[in-house]
Structures are given as C-alpha cells and as structure tokens.
A and B are shown apart, each in its own frame.
Chain A
Amino acid sequence: MVSIFSRVKDIVKYSMMYACMTHCTFEYIGDFVVCNGPSMEPTLHSKNILLTERITTRFHNPRRGDIIIAISPTDPKQYICKRIVGIPGDRIVLKNNTTDTKTEEDALTAAASKKQKLKELQDEYVPRGCIWIEGDNSENSADSRYYGPIPLGLVKSRVVCRLWPIKEMCML
C-alpha cells in the first residue's frame, strides 16, 4: 500500500517537474510552430514546422526582414506569422497594394524626388513601440495594410528555421 502511494507521488512529482521545465523552455527560449494559411507563401507553406526563438524578442529590438510570430491584433486567441517590413520611425508608402519601406535617410531624398507623386498615396510613419508587418504573399494576406502598425508587445517569437519538411530544411 505504502509503495503504491509513494510511486504515485513520484509520478506526480516528476511529471510536474518536467511540465514546468517544458513550460519554461517553450516560454523563454524557443518553441515549435506549425504554419497554417497562405499568407507567407512562397517562403512558408501550410503545415511547415518552424523552430522559433524567444530570446531576442525580449529586448524589443526588431529588425526589418525578420519573420515573427505575434498575437493577432484582431483576435487575441490566434497567432499570426508575418515578416517585419517597417520598424519605428520608418515611413510606409502604400502604392497599389505594394509597400515601400524607407529608412529615415532614404525617406528624405526619395520624398524630395517624388514629392508630387507621394501626395496621392497613402503614407504614414510607424509610431514608437510599433512595427509594420506584412505577409510575403501580398495578394492574400491580412496584415498591417489592413489593421495598421501593431504594437511590439504582441510579438512573441522570431522564426529561426524550418524543420519540416526535411527536404526544405533551412534557416530563415
């Protein structure tokens, strides 16, 4: 009787311990994500398995071109996978559904040369603490062009590499 009891106690103890360690790893170091949906094609396809890391996102130091996982601003239960196109201070110019990002220096020269043109276009700065994200498949992606810049606090992790399918395993 006593041995059964102590055995159950052991099992509970060890499963608790491992559950907690797994939680910490997935929450603070990195985790695996299964992609779903067409918005990141041709870079990522549905059912790709990605390895993501959560260490650099803690410093809130976004870089243009990184692929990130964030909580969807329109539905807090859903996650989205997009590419960072603009960081705070960048100027976003929307032109027939395609986006040009301009760093602050570029913006000045470009603005001077295309002053007339830009007036007709939608054109805004990415505010402090926010980023502009877009899917690679610009025709089929709900992203910042639809809901505007998203706060950096929603960014959960950065995609490091694709693990599955094995043939297409690569760094991203």
Chain B
Amino acid sequence: MAFRKFVKSVLLGIPIGITFLDCVGYVARVDGISMQPALNPDASQTDYVFLSRWAVRTSNVDRGDIVSLISPKDPSQKIIKRIVGLQGDVVSTLGYRHEIVRIPEGHCWVEGDHTGHSLDSNTFGPVAQGLLTARATYIVWPPERWRRLQTELPRRRRPIQIAKSASYYSQ
C-alpha cells in the first residue's frame, strides 16, 4: 500500500516538476570558453548557472543580458551568449559579411565575451528572438563563484546606433 502511494505521488509530482522547470527556471552547466571571463574563467572548472525562464516569458530582454538560446545552426544544441543589439540597432561586426549591420525586426545580435573564440552572430548573423530560451541570472556552483550576473556591455561593443524605442518597427 505504501508502495502504491509512493508511485502515485511520483506520477503526480513529475508534471509539477516539469512545469516548474519550464516556467521558473533551471540550473545548467556552461561548456566551453566562449563566455570568458564572465563564465568559466578557469578552464579547469566549469560553472553552473541558473537560467531564468521567467525573465524571458515576454521576450523583454535587454542589451548586455546573458541569455541561453537554441543554436540557429543546430536546433538540438543550446548556446549561451550576451545580447549586444536588439531590433533596429546598428552594430559594428567583428568579421561578419558586412562591417555594419542593422538588426532586422524581431532579431537580436548575440556575442560571446571571449572575442575570437566564440561561435556567435559574427558567424551566423542576427538571430530570431524566438530562439531565446532563458536568461542567466546567477552563477550557483562552485560556491566560491556564487554571484549575480550583471547586465553589462563593454563600451567598445555597444551598438553604433540604438533604436529609439523597443517598438522601432511596430510603429
């Protein structure tokens, strides 16, 4: 009888758990060196970050946010990058086809902090905002690295021209 009760509560608990992970957020390991020095500053230890799903539910992300997104090249892979420009911004690129890009409607420009060692918008161009899955808010592991991830953009990577409002195209 106790066993049956246990099975029942597990079956009921799974949907609740999944819903929590889908709506609030989850913890994920960061692989690779593309976000150095913000994440994985030391190659020998990997950081674990809390990815907040709640933060992107209305897709109101900001320049400088660290986000996780589905790779536009390979849909089964997730990548973690920093948002450099939003729709309507004009950004200077680092080795993309065009030197200067105006980001099309509904897209954003993402880059890894580790310039030159990152597969980002400089390779595949602007990405659709619909691919964003979550925003990285905290480093949770290892404990000595516990901190909040700041929304910041290096001065040299700011967009050349910032769109006047978020609704640049929807006027």
Contact = CB atoms under 8 A, between A and B. Distances in A.
Interface string B62-88: 000000011111111000000000000
B130 interface: yes
B72 A74 contact: no
Given A23-B19, A154-B130, A76 B106 contact: yes
B16 A17 contact: yes
B149 to A, nearest CB: 22
A153 B59 contact: no
B22 to A, nearest CB: 6
A71 B128 contact: yes
A70 B106 CA distance: 14
A65 interface: no
B16 A16 contact: yes
A24 B15 contact: yes
Contacts of A37: none
Contacts of A77: 58-59
B51 to A, nearest CB: 16
Interface string B116-152: 0000000000011111100000000000000000000
A153 B70 CA distance: 6
Contact of A153 (B19, B22, B75, B106): B75
Interface in A136-159: 147, 150-155
Contacts of B18: 20, 23-24, 27-28
A76 B72 contact: no
Interface in A17-55: 17, 19-21, 23-24, 27-28
Classify chain A's interface size.
20 to 34
Interface string B138-171: 0000000000000000000000000000000110
A22 to B, nearest CB: 9
Classify chain B's interface size.
20 to 34
Contacts of A150: 128
Interface string B10-30: 001011101100110000000
Contacts of B23: 23
A70 B71 CA distance: 16
B107 interface: yes
Given A76-B59, A77-B59, A150-B128, A20 B73 contact: no
Nearest to B127: A151
A152 B74 CA distance: 8
Interface of A: 16-17, 19-21, 23-24, 27-28, 60, 70-77, 127-130, 147, 150-155
27 contacts: A17-B12, A19-B19, A20-B18, A20-B19, A23-B15, A23-B22, A24-B14, A24-B18, A60-B75, A60-B76, A72-B130, A73-B130, A74-B106, A75-B106, A75-B170, A76-B130, A127-B73, A128-B73, A129-B74, A147-B104, A151-B72, A151-B131, A153-B69, A153-B70, A153-B71, A154-B128, A154-B130
Given A16-B16, A73-B106, A151-B128, 6 more contacts: A19-B19, A23-B15, A74-B169, A75-B170, A128-B73, A130-B72
